[in-house]
Structure 1
Amino acid sequence: MNSLLPPNASELERKITQVGKAAFDLPTIRVVKDIDDVPSQFLPFIAWQRSVDYWDESWQDSLKRNVIKNSREQHRIKGTAAAIKRALEPFGYEVKLIEWFQAVPNLIPGTFNLELDLIGKSLNQEVYNEINRLVSDAKAASRHLTNLTITTNPILTIRNILVHQTAFTFSSEPKA
């Protein structure tokens, strides 16, 4: 048995060491080389260490690992159109960002439109709030979202057979 006890340790000290030995058999992380090999209970600590801006314990492990892996790059490009796209893509959304100078006719300088396709995922208030939060965190403070268009393609099944797929589009643009 490996022990840090001195040779003149008492019998009581040796028994206490034997009983407490199991505490040192827990998985530890000394050096993280590959996020995919890290036990899932350590992911929140690594996310904090790598300055992940937002973390949700209800996410699947694969999404948590993806967010951690992309954290450094996300901080490097924060405030750009690419940052907005990268913030939304891990959630499986198709993203099209149209900046003010790309729109026809041109929008107000410093604004942009965002078109999202949820690709079979449902749209509810929680998803909508999450999208707005991700966009707000990733965009430059001087940029403003003028129109958010979300397209969702719910897939309906009856007895495990695909029977209908219709696209629904929701737009935040005010009606004229």
Structure 2
Amino acid sequence: MTTLLPPNSTELEYKLEIAKSAETNLERRLNSMINVDSIPDVFLDFLAVQLSVDYWRFDWMPSLKRSRLKQAFDQHRKKGTPYAIKKALEPFGYAVKLVEWWQTNPVGIPGTFYLELDLVGKELTKETYKEVNRLIDETKPASRRISSVNITSNPVLNMGNIIAMQDSIIFECNPGP
């Protein structure tokens, strides 16, 4: 058994630690508090601070919070890459296609990229647009800038037992220099 006691502890202190360890099992409790799937919902916000999750909202559903927590380490490793931008938007249900300047025909302006974002049945609102821009800005490399964002929204129309897809709405944004 590993101990938290200093080397100059008495025999009595060691025996008390052994007696208490069976009852408290601190290591097991700490591991359960770090496991994203088993942590109680009320502690998710604290775990987000501990894992330095870049974008977090307290009003999210616990399932979305857990999803963001599971991605935190991977996102920090890959921050500033196209992969990170895609992963930042996917938990919200968006399909993302990122094209960098050297992948376009003709070749675009060096250091730029554009996004094609499909909201997959979600409505395009001002809040959604602000959220998308914030996520992109927080995860993109500092040396890159967006040349344009094409957002496609196919709202789902629910009429009783019938679900119909409405016409697609495409919003294009060309940010300035």
Coarse TM-score class (shorter-chain normalised): 0.7 to 0.9
Q: Which string of whole-angstrom CA distances, capped at 9 and with x for unpartnered residues, describes residues 127-170 of structure 1?
A: 00000000001000000001000001011122332244211111
Q: Aligned residues: percent identity?
A: 51
Q: Distance in 2 between matches of 1:51 and 1:60?
A: 19
2:132 is paired with a residue whose SS is helix
Distance 1:164 1:30, change over 3 A: closer
Which residue of 1 is the match for residue 73 of structure 2? 72
- For 1:75, give the aligned amino acid: H
Give me the TM-score of the superposition, normalised by structure 2. Answer: 0.79
Is 2:34–2:47's contact at 8 Å kept on the other side of the alignment?
no
Q: Which amino acid aligns with 1:170?
A: F
1:30 and 2:21 matched: no
Distance of 2:54 and 2:164 partners within structure 1: 40
> 1:158 and 1:82 mapped to 2: Cα distance?
37
Look up the SS of the partner of 2:66 in the other structure.
helix
* 111-120 vs 164-173, greater mean Cα deviation: 164-173
Matches of residues 26-175 of structure 1 in structure 2 within 5 Å?
A: 30-31=30-31, 32-173=33-174
Give secondary structure in 1 for the equivalent of 2:37.
helix
Could you list the per-position Cα deviations for residues 34-92 of structure 1 after superposition, in whole angstroms to 9, with x for gaps in the alignment? 21111000000000000011210111111100111110110100111111111111111
**Alignment TM-score, normalising by the size of structure 1:** 0.79
Structure 1 portions without partners, runs of 5+? 1-28
Q: How does 1:11-22 map to 2 (within 5 A)?
A: none
Instruction: State how far apart, in whole Å, the 1-side matches of 2:120 and 2:134 are.
Output: 20
Q: Aligned-pair RMSD on alpha carbons?
A: 1.4
Please name the residue that 2:13 is paired with.
Answer: none
What 5-or-longer segments of structure 2 have no aligned partner?
1-28
Q: Residues of 1 paired with 2:91 and 2:164: CA distance?
A: 28
Paired residues, number: 146
